[in-house]
Structure 1
Amino acid sequence: MYFAALLARTEDGWEASDTELDDVETLSDLTDLARDASMDEDTVLVYIEQEDAWFGVVRVDGEEDPRIFVSNASAAARSSYGEILLTDELLGREPEAEDSIAALEELVGLDGTEDGEPGPPGHSDTDTDHATDDDDDGPDADAVPAGPLGDTGVLSDLGLPEAELLMLRTDALAEIADALGAAEVLETVR
């Protein structure tokens, strides 16, 4: 089960709202959602949690690139919402590296029967010897490090130091909101 909330900073303090992520497919979609909740390009935090597995915080400050922290990257890699947060940049990979690797692996699997030529005896056109197990577009869970990943200082200037963020586990939103001084407004959406 997932829970997602937006915390938007205003001149009067924080405003909280729960949010549906059904229409969010990319980090760009998530960033746009956060910017739409922002007043005067103030800070917006998007909090996503999968119960007992991982949580993520995306910080959007105006038009700056989003800053991301994920508490358990390998658990998040197995989640559709986690895959949104685990960008190539966050994982330290070249953009589109997986697509290039998959294309090269497919070329290596060519056996000369690609143009409709009959294959060797016992070979069928439906053989998938060269197919990879990573047919989805998400990151390979084996290639994603276990544990925290991303910007550990994402909340430092808002009252939650790096060391404390790294100690948080699931259901961390209450502690994050408390550190930000947003605990009361969060209760209205929880």
Structure 2
Amino acid sequence: MYFAALLARTEDGWEASDTELDDVETLADLADLAREAATDDEPVLACIEQEGAWFGVVRIEGEDDPRVFVSDAAAAMRSSYGEILLSDELLGREPEDLEALDQLVDLDGTEDGEPDSKDSSDGGEQAGGSDTTPPGPIGDAKLLADLGMDDKALVSLAPEDALSEIADALGCTDVLEAVR
């Protein structure tokens, strides 16, 4: 079971809205959705949790790149919503598009579709697959520091209590619980 909400800071405090992620396929889509909820260039937090397994927070401010924190990258990678947050850059690997392009222009004599001797057809995962996803927290643990939650506190949160603890630190427990 998943829960996703947007927390948008306004001059009067925080506003929360339950959000549907069915049409969100990429981190850019999520950032666009969050920007629609923003007031001026105030921060918006997209909060996602999978019951007891992992949570993620994405901070969007104006047109800045999204800042992402995921509590357990390996658990999130097994989730369609988690995969939205786990960009190649965040995972420290080359984007798949670049890997595919490198394979197309490989200058080792296999450009004409000849199988490369290092390719395997045993069904194993390619480089960059989920077998390279590190377990545990990943991303910008300081993304909430100026809002009342330091990086050590964020990293130590248990997935089942995380969003409530974050809302407590931000002072918006009531608005988050209202959309739960």
TM-score grouping bracket, smaller chain normalisation: 0.7 to 0.9
- Aligned counterpart for 1:110 among listed residues 114, 118, 121: 114
- Which amino acid counterpart does residue 114 of structure 2 have in structure 1? L
Asked if the contact 1:159–1:179 (Cα under 8 Å) also holds between the matched residues in 2, the reply is yes
Q: Is residue 99 from structure 1 mapped to residue 100 from structure 2 by the alignment? A: yes
Asked if the contact 2:34–2:60 (Cα under 8 Å) also holds between the matched residues in 1, the reply is yes
- Which amino acid counterpart does residue 75 of structure 1 have in structure 2? A
Secondary structure of the 1:152 match is coil
Give CA-to-partner distance per residue, 1:128-156, whole Å, 9 cap, x none.
x6374448xxx522101110000010101
- Aligned counterpart for 2:158 among listed residues 169, 183, 187: 169
Asked if the contact 1:77–1:140 (Cα under 8 Å) also holds between the matched residues in 2, the reply is no
CA distance in 1, matches of 2:140, 2:23: 25
Q: Pick closer, same or farther for the CA change 1:132–1:189 going to 2, 3 Å.
A: same
- Aligned counterpart for 1:146 among listed residues 110, 135, 153: 135
Partner of 1:20 in structure 2? 20
Partner of 2:46 in structure 1? 46
Displacement of 1:52: 1.5
Q: Pick closer, same or farther for the CA change 1:51–1:175 going to 2, 3 Å.
A: same
- Pairwise CA RMSD: 2.4
Name stretches of at least 5 consecutive residues in structure 1 with no aligned partner: 113-128
TM (normalized to structure 2)?
0.86
Percent of residue pairs bearing the same amino acid type: 62
Q: Is residue 187 from structure 1 mapped to residue 177 from structure 2 by the alignment? A: yes
Displacement of 1:102: 6.4
Secondary structure of the 1:188 match is helix
Secondary structure of the 2:179 match is coil
Secondary structure of the 2:90 match is helix
Larger radius of gyration between Structure 1 and Structure 2: 1
